[in-house]
Structure formats: C-alpha cells, structure tokens
Structure 1
Amino acid sequence: MSKRVWIGITFIVFVMCMGNAQRVFASNVSGTLVIVTSFPPTLFEKFKNAFEQKYSDVTVFVRSKKTSAAISFINERVNEPADLFWASAPDAFEVLKEAGHLQRAFLQTDEDGARIGSYPIDDPDGFYRGFAVSGYGIVWHQDYLKRLGLKAPENWRDLTDPSYAHHIGISAPSRSGTTHLIVESILQSQGWENGWATLSEIGGNLATVTARSFGVIDGVLAERFGIGAAIDFLGMSAKATGSPVDFAYPAGTAFLPANIAIVKRSTNPIAAKAFVDFVLSDQGQMLLFDPEISRLPVMQSLYESAPAHFANPFGDELTNKGIAFDAQLSRQRYQLVNSMFDVMITFRLQALRRTWKVIHDAEEALKNVNAPHLVEQVKEARRLASQVPVSADDAASSELSAVFVRHKPGLSVPFRQIKLESEWATFARDHQDRAHKLASDALNALQAQTTKSRS
C-alpha cells in the first residue's frame, strides 16, 4: 500500500471518527436549558430557535431580566434553576465571578487572547466568554431633530447644550447595566469630578429617566424625546429595520465584549456548553448580522462580509474613540455609582432642570456684557451645581464601596448606606439651591442694570 493511499485512508477514518464524536455529543445535548438574560426577545428568540433546531432534544427557557435584577437573581435565588447568564456588561460578570456563582469552564492555553482595543474578549480566568462587541453612545430621531432645528450630537459633552433641554432620555444605571457602563465610560474618560459635572448638566436636560435601557430607544422611536444614551445594537437594529434614527459613538466611549457564562449551579452543563459553542460558531456569529439583532461579532474575519452599515470595532476609526476601560474599578464601585446617580440625578430631575436652566440663561445673558463680578458669580453657581459629595479616592476605596447594595423592594439596605444617601441628598439640595440663587441673583442684577441704563 502506497504512503499516499495510507494517508488518504487515515484521513477518511479520522473524519468518520470526528463525525461519530459529534453525533455522540449531540445525542448527549438534551433536557432543559435555563438562560438568564437582559437581552431583548429580538435577539434571544432567534438564537433559541436556531439552537433548538440544531439540538432537537433540548428545550430552552429564558428568564428575561434587567442586568441588576439578573445579578440579584443568580446571587440570591440559589434554589431557582439557572444554567447560563447572558448579558452585555462585563462588570456584571465580574460581580458574579467574585461571588463564586460562575463555572470556570473556559480556561485557555493561549495567554495572549483576542482583544477589543486593550480589553480581553474572553475572561483570562476562564469564567466567561465574549460573544459580541458592545459599543455605547448616542441615538437620535432624525425627523424629531430636523423638525425642531436641533443638530445631531456627537459627544457626551454635546448633551449638556441647553438647546437639548427636555429632549434627552436615559435609563438609571441602578436599573440598567448598559447605562451603568455609559456612566462609567464618562467617569473614566473625563475623570471623576469632571465626569459627574457632565452627568449633572446632562441631567438638567433630561426629559425622563426610563425604567429599562429598552425604554430609551422606545422613547426615541415614539418621539417622546429625540435623543437617548444607548447601547449600539438598539440604535443599529432600529435603523436597519427602517426607522428614521441614527447612532454615533462619542470619543471617550467604551467598546467591550458582551458575554456569556455557565452558572455554577447549572443542572445541565453539557447543554450550556453546547449553547456557548453555538453562539461562538460561524452560524451563531453570522446570526448577529440579522437586521433585528445588529450586533458586532467577535470574529474579526466576518467583517469582510458584514452589511454595509456595520461599523468595525477592530478598525482604527473606532478603536481610537475607545477608552482603556477599567472593569475592576467599575465592578468595585458598581452599587456606589448607581446609588449616587439616583440620589443626585434620578430623584432630583425637577431641581436639576430648574438649576441648570437659570445657569444657562445667566451665562447666555452675560456673553456680551461687561460685568466681571456677575460672570464670577455665575461661575460659582456652575461649580456648586457640578459638585458631588464623594471624592475619586473615596469612591475607589473598597471600604466605602463595600457598604452599598442594590435597592430592592421589600428588602432593607445597610444603615450606613441609608445615612450616606441621606447626606448626599442634603448635599445635592443645598448645592443646587445655592447655585440657583446665585444665578438668579445675577440675572436679576443684570436686568436691573439694563433697565437703569435705558432710563
């Protein structure tokens, strides 16, 4: 027998063995699979149906929960079935990883794994894998802006422009892992103090704070407001399916992997692993290009055949906009940042609008007036309205951040957290009242001065 024939026979036997192994594996993939996810039905239903078609002996059940509720569910409802956690926010996976609720199922031999910018796509410790790339930015309704003569925003700071007052929607980070990452992106790219100053001023322009991140894109589509802070796929899928919306990645945004992990208490790890393999297969990754899903695959080679409107997060244009996101810092101060946003912004929308409106009015009125003392007075009003009661160092302290837990109906929070949040609320009220008075007094003085000069 010639060497060439022997190699050919060996290859055929190898292929047959591989085929048999795949059939044996497929036959072992059965039973029920429970997925806890924050993704919308437009995504999970398509993957569920495709997976059940491939593995006909598996029945997939989806527990749809916002990210913060999903973390609580896996952390606390330990007797409830859960095989997979599937969501965008990597810091949420870090929270569950640290709490010991994820399986270390994906250890890699390659220490230099794939990255998005400087961020690893897969958890280096093997507890979760990235299946798509998430970008965070600004979505807007084109007809809405055109009708009102508003420019499309390009950066986070653009959203502080007084022309956008009552035209912006955002979700609370305590209710949305997406918004938490948006808030963290702003804090990490601009610095703690400057970032909160930007968030406070954006707060003065808000039309509403929605209950979930999906409420932002729904509000834009319904033209309840014209602009929203959102994850890219919500804007891209709306645009791809014919809605008159557009989306922009601001400079200083984050590009991070959306992830999937096997929950430690999984009762069907074989099916769970098969589902992970499926979403990372060519078939699963190509499914992300579906117009109703419109997510960015982690397989770089697929972008050569991507639809024309798809951005490439691995290209220079977008990687230059991204920041080196610190997921460890975000995870550590996760609940502290969420609580601060609610106390300083969510629960003070009317006061924020009133304060920032008078500051903006005073700044506009003083543009072409020679009144240095009034200019300084309004600068002080802006400084007061922008301040937060916690320093960057304290926020990064594990001693302080460990105090905070998620607010849940019917469950108490630590007394120290209640005390601190009460102090923050007093701080916000006092600073905004003082800022409002300074700006109002400056406006009144300017009006009196103008009246006197005319008489």
Structure 2
Amino acid sequence: MLPTLRHAALAAARRHTVLAAALASLCAPAFAGTVTVITSFPKELTQAYKTAFEKKHPDIKLEILNKNTVAGIAYVRETAIGQRPEVFWASAPDAFEVLGRDKLLAAAPEVDNPAIPAKIGNYPINDPKGFYKGQALAGYGIMYNTRYLKANKLTAPKEWKDLLGHEWFGHIGTTSPSRSGTMHLTVETILQGEGWDAGWNTLLRMSANAASVTERSFGVPDGVNNGQFGAGPVIDFFGLAGRYSGFPVDFVYPTVTSIVPANIAVIDGSKNPSEGKKFVAFTLSDEGQQLLLDPKISRLPVLPYAKLAGKVPQGYPDPEAIAKRSKVQFDPNLSEARYYVVQSMFDQTITFRLKELQGAARAIFEAEKKLAGKASPQAAELLKEARGLAFTPLVGSDLAKDPRFLELFAKSKKDAAVNKEITGLEGSWNTKAKANYERAVTLAQQAAALAR
C-alpha cells in the first residue's frame, strides 16, 4: 500500500475509534465516582439505601463493603491515604471514637440536617467535634422466641438477671464484642450500668447459659427467629425487624439499657470524598430517615417523630421515653478507653473457654439443686468459692481504670514488643480462666457430695 493510502486508512480508523467512544459515552451512564461504604449492617438495610440513593443520584454508584465493626476499623487503618473507602457506617459510637482518635475521619458540617435535635436524653446525637453524625438511634436488650419459651416452659425475660438462672442453661445465643460492634455496645452498657465487677458477673453467668457464641452478630437474631435459641442479647432493630416481619419473637429493653446513636462518617483520605458526603447527607435527609421505618429495617430515626407524621407504625418504640427511664448514661470515652481490653477479656475468658465455663455452670447448678432446702455450711462455702472462681472477672476494677494498662491495649500490635506483652497477658488470662473453671467444677461436686 502506498504511504499516502496507508496514512489515510490509519486516520480513518482513528476517526472511527473516536466516534465509537463518543457514542458509547453518550449511551452509557456517566459516573461521577463510586462511594464505598464500610458497614456491619444487614443487607436489608444497605440494599434499601443503595437503591434509593442511586435513583436520586444516577451518576454515583454505591458499593457496600460488609465487615464487622472491628474488622472495618482495621481495614480503614491499613488502607493507604487516597485509597480508603468514603463512608464508615455502624452502630457503635465507641468505634467512631477509636477512628477519630486515630485521625481517620473527616469533618463534614455541610451534610447536617438542621431538623435533627442535638441530643437524645442527655446524649449528643452528633459528635461534638463534628467528625461523625448520628444517623439512627439504637437501644440494647433481649430478643426472645415466644414459641420456644412456651415449649420449654420459660418465662419471658424483662431484665438481664432473668437470663442467669439454671432454667436458661443451653437456651441462650450470644456473640463476642470482638466479632460485633453491637455486642460490644451491649457489653459496655451492662458494664457501665452495673459497674465493672458486677457487670462481668452478669456477662459470665449469662454466657455460661449460652448454647454457642456465634460468628457474627446476625447469628443471634437469626437463631432466635428460627427457634435455635430461646433468647439472646441484641441491638433493638434485630428484634423489632423480626417481630414486624412476622416471626414469633419479641424484644424488651431492660432498665439497664442505653439509647445511643448509630453513626455515619466520612473517612479521611478517601478516593471520592465529595460523593461520600452526598451519601451521608442522603441518610440524614427526611427521605433517608423514612427508610428506617421499613418493617425489614425497623430502626429508630434520629429525626423527631413529629417530622415523620403518619409514617411511624403504631406501637413503635419511643426513643425519648426509653432514654428517660434508662439507668445508663452511656459514656463513649470510657468505652473507647477500654475498647480492646473488654474484647480481649471476653474472648479469653468466654469465647475461647465457653466449654469450660459451661461445665462450671452445670456443676454449680446441679449442686444447688441437690442442696436446695438443706442446711450445710460447708457445702454453702464450697459453692460460694466455686461461683467466685467461675463468675469473677480476672481483671479487677482497679486495674481496668489504670491508664498505663489501658494504653498498652490501645497500642498497635504491629510493634513486636507490644504484641509480645499483650499476647502474654491474653495467654495468662486464658490459662487462668481454664484453671478457675475446672477448680469450680471440683468444688461444686464436693458441695453436691455433702447433700444428705
């Protein structure tokens, strides 16, 4: 082919390519950017927001990255600046305090909805420093299956103490605060409402009655819905969603509960921060708040009910009323300070030693039954010691307040010296818990042998 003809052919090919690209760009949607949302929330909620937001903003694609809250924090920490996801969305305010402490959140005052009040009870709905926003309200309590309770002759619980008796042995489902931000809030609510030592006594006794520690927070409500468990500690929207979706379940707020915001925030160093802000603003808008009332979602809006006139289902919980009667004024700073200590203690003494803890509880319950109505000071003393070994936290309240101890667990485990020290402590707790539970079994059996 002659040079001039070859050049003409190449030029024509280039014109065809440019024209094809132009036509393709006209026919295809032009995305301004993708908003990646890191969240622990269930698909029923995230899909509803994805559909509504993309309809309102067809030029923006919403990508949901589902991780439990603890894993989500780690993901944000480990992702390079400029490559991070845009939005963090979860129930636990202490998790946002951790992110804020590590300078991983960006202030976004322009997304605020002025109709949202400043507080729920005495608790600020938005972060006073402006780094995260309250997007919904959440309370913590007990979900139970009404058919299961009737079949097993169990009384519907109203307070945490109602789940501690021998009749509940093997009937409870629970999860770990290291696996679930909402469980972490439940644990902290109990610790703050009852005090450190008494709160751990409640947590250990309730966990001793558990059939299992589920892998994710969803495992508890799913198990209660399908009758695998009789009851379990959950965040309110799991219980309410189950009830409004027709499962034979109910939910109760104990007096030791808290109403705190479930939060949303723009992550600092994200790829598309302006698009991320649009999504956060949407979730706080009147339209975004109304989505929370969908029966499959069943969350409490931060927008006052007066602003949602005609949309709130009859008999829907009133967060203001619950907050007024609650015995807990939740302190997110306290929770943030001991965040990893609480998770580690729960796992080393409960999650990883559930079998031994169950064995201790079973032996204590059997001894109590044999000794019922029988006076034996020696047996009573043995049982008291057994309960102390099984249900007393390995870290006392004084050490739990020690700033140096708390600071250790707040440090990065990537530091070899820090990792060695923390791992050593965790190993000693695990070993001590096993020994305590086994000793409790021995003492309970000795007490039972004294029954005449």
Common fold: TM-score over 0.5: yes
Distance 1:406 1:215 in 2: 30
Q: Tell me which residue corresponds to 1:91.
A: 94
1:56 is paired with a residue whose SS is coil
Q: Tell me which residue corresponds to 1:224.
A: 228
Task: Find out whether 1:270 has 2:274 as its counterpart.
Answer: yes
Task: Find out whether 1:417 has 2:419 as its counterpart.
Answer: no
Task: Find out whether 1:68 has 2:74 as its counterpart.
Answer: no
Q: Tell me which residue corresponds to 1:32.
A: 34
Distance 2:185 2:441 in 1: 30
* Residues 391-418 of structure 1: CA deviation (Å, up to 9, x unaligned): 2232233321232369999x99700111
Unaligned runs of 5+ in 1: 1-27, 451-455
| Aligned residues between the structures | 417
* Equivalent residues in 2 for 1:252-267, closer than 5 Å: 252-267=256-271
Shift of the alpha carbon at 1:318? 4.6
- The amino acid of 2:92's aligned partner reads A
* Residues 229-287 of structure 1: CA deviation (Å, up to 9, x unaligned): 11111111111111111111111112110011000012322222221221111111111
Distance 1:359 1:116 in 2: 42
Partner of residue 238 from structure 1, selected from 235, 242, 245: 242
Aligned 8 A contact 2:53 2:279 in 1:
yes
- The amino acid of 2:99's aligned partner reads L
Q: Kindly tell me: are residues 292 and 359 of structure 1, through their superposed partners in 2, closer, same or farther at Cα, counting changes over 3 Å?
A: same
Aligned 8 A contact 2:120 2:323 in 1:
no
Unaligned runs of 5+ in 2: 1-29
* Equivalent residues in 2 for 1:90-239, closer than 5 Å: 90-106=93-109, 114-239=118-243
Distance 1:391 1:193 in 2: 7
Distance 1:254 1:366 in 2: 38
Distance 1:226 1:389 in 2: 29
Give TM-score scaled by structure 1 length.
0.87
Q: Kindly tell me: are residues 144 and 334 of structure 1, through their superposed partners in 2, closer, same or farther at Cα, counting changes over 3 Å?
A: same
Shift of the alpha carbon at 1:363? 2.2
Distance 1:425 1:440 in 2: 23
Partner of residue 344 from structure 2, selected from 321, 325, 339: 339
Shift of the alpha carbon at 1:224? 1.7
| Aligned residues with identical type, % of pairs | 44
1:71 is paired with a residue whose SS is helix
**RMSD over equivalenced CA pairs, Å:** 2.4
Aligned 8 A contact 2:193 2:327 in 1:
no
Shift of the alpha carbon at 1:93? 0.5
Bigger mean CA deviation after superposition, 210-219 or 376-385: 376-385
Q: Tell me which residue corresponds to 1:369.
A: 374
Q: Tell me which residue corresponds to 1:310.
A: 316
- The amino acid of 1:116's aligned partner reads I
Aligned 8 A contact 2:182 2:234 in 1:
yes
Shift of the alpha carbon at 1:349? 1.1
Distance 1:56 1:259 in 2: 25
1:170 is paired with a residue whose SS is strand
1:174 is paired with a residue whose SS is coil
* Residues 37-65 of structure 1: CA deviation (Å, up to 9, x unaligned): 11111001111111111111111111111
Distance 1:295 1:408 in 2: 36
Distance 1:208 1:302 in 2: 42
Q: Tell me which residue corresponds to 1:58.
A: 60
Give TM-score scaled by structure 2 length.
0.87
